[in-house]
Amino acid sequence: MIVALIVACEAGFWVLLALGLTARYLLKWRRTGAALLLCEPLLELVLFTATAIDLKNGARPGWEHGLAALYIGFTVGYGHYTVRRLDAHAAHRLAGAPPPPKPPKYGLPRARHEAGLWLRTLLAATVALALLQTAIWYVGTPSATAPLRSWQWTTLRITAIHGLIALTYLLFPKKAPAGTARSENARTPVGR
């Protein structure tokens, strides 16, 4: 049941996003579009509640409960960023707004961009770890919580690997081809 709900929440995220952007830019229903986009966190609340009820009803903690925690964490860390980026693209294509800035490709601006993404991963991991730890305390039996602890280690590994990748952009920055460094760094806002 939990895996099907995770799939439904992911599909619901994209459906709500498409409906929200369609209402906002094609139908010019700004408030309706905003309301649809604001409904997206409700999907994670439904998943969280279903997972808690499943554990409360005596389900043995399994990989699906850990995956639910990781999914909720990822949505907290990257959901708003994803919606904001796609909203900017929709505004450009459907409403004549200027094109959204692309992520920088070279040097320190690229390292800053990658560090910002890693901070989102860190936020996602923190939320997932908190949910997993809460579930471990709730279940209480050490032998029954082994799958949840396994997901905690997986979350930490993902965060560490992404941190190392982000660090490589600082330690080994990609050099811009001659003549493009100024224009690339000038058009990309800092912190994106």
pLDDT of 186 above 60: no
Burial-class residue 59 by CB neighbours within 10 Å (0-12, 13-18, 19+).
middle
Mean pLDDT of the 31-43 span? 91
Distance (Å, rounded) from C-alpha 68 to C-alpha 22?
29
pLDDT of residue 143: 83
> Of 76, 95, 107, which is closest to residue 33 (Cα–Cα)?
95
Place of tokens 């005596």: 58
Residue 134: which H helix or E strand, with range? helix 107-139
pLDDT of 166 above 90: yes
Distance (Å, rounded) from C-alpha 173 to C-alpha 167?
10
- Give percent above pLDDT 70 in the chain: 93
Buried b (16+ CB within 10 A) or exposed e, 157-166: ebbeebbeeb
Give the global pTM. 0.86
Mean pLDDT of the 6-32 span? 93
pLDDT of residue 153: 96
pLDDT of 185 above 80: no
- Alpha carbon 160 to its chain centroid, in Å, reads 16
140: DSSP letter: -
pLDDT digits (tens, 9 = 90+) for 66-81: 999 999 999 999 999 9
Paired tokens of 135: 């579930």
pLDDT digits (tens, 9 = 90+) for 102-158: 999 999 999 999 999 999 999 999 999 999 999 999 888 888 889 999 999 999 999
pLDDT of 192 above 70: no
The one-letter amino acid code at 186 reads A
pLDDT of residue 182: 54
Give the angle subtended at the CA of 17 by the CAs of 37 and 54, to the nearest 5°.
80
Average pLDDT, the chain: 90
Distance (Å, rounded) from C-alpha 109 to C-alpha 112?
5
Which one has a higher pLDDT value, 143 or 22?
A: 22
CB atoms within 10 A of CB 167: 14
Distance (Å, rounded) from C-alpha 116 to C-alpha 75?
16
